Amino acid sequence: MPEISRFFGIVIKMFFDDHSPPHFHAFYGDDQALIDIRHLSSFAGGLPPRALGLVIEWATLQQQELLDNWHRAEGQEPLEKIEPLK
């Protein structure tokens, strides 16, 4: 599962050939959440509220890049790193 971004202790990863809906995995410490790229919401797992807020803020800014990476992952193509939240 390639890492595509890292910020404030949060790690963002995406699996190759993962199931729908288009999503990414956000890790913070021992917590993990799956985030729907199109709806910008968590649909599995969970993160502390502050970490989840940072992830959603970042995903809002990077939504198109996330969708582009999702399509690359479906095609087994290398994923692009995405600018972290600053």
Domain membership flag for residue 84: no
Query: What is the C-alpha separation between 8 and 67, in angstroms, rounded?
Result: 22
Residues 72, 17 contacting (CB under 8 angstroms): no
Query: What is the C-alpha separation between 31 and 50, in angstroms, rounded?
Result: 13
pLDDT at 1: 74
Per the structure, the count of domains in the chain is: 1
**Among 82, 28, 21, 80, CA closest to 54:** 28
**Among 66, 84, 83, CA closest to 7:** 84
Query: What is the C-alpha separation between 35 and 63, in angstroms, rounded?
Result: 11
Domain membership flag for residue 50: yes
Domain membership flag for residue 86: no
What residues make up the domain containing 33? 3-74
Domain membership flag for residue 80: no
Kindly give the confidence (pLDDT) of every residue in the chain, 86 residues in length, as a single tens digit, with 9 standing for 90 and above.
Answer: 799 999 999 999 999 978 999 999 999 999 999 999 999 999 999 999 999 999 999 999 999 999 999 999 999 999 999 999 99
* pTM of the entire predicted model: 0.94
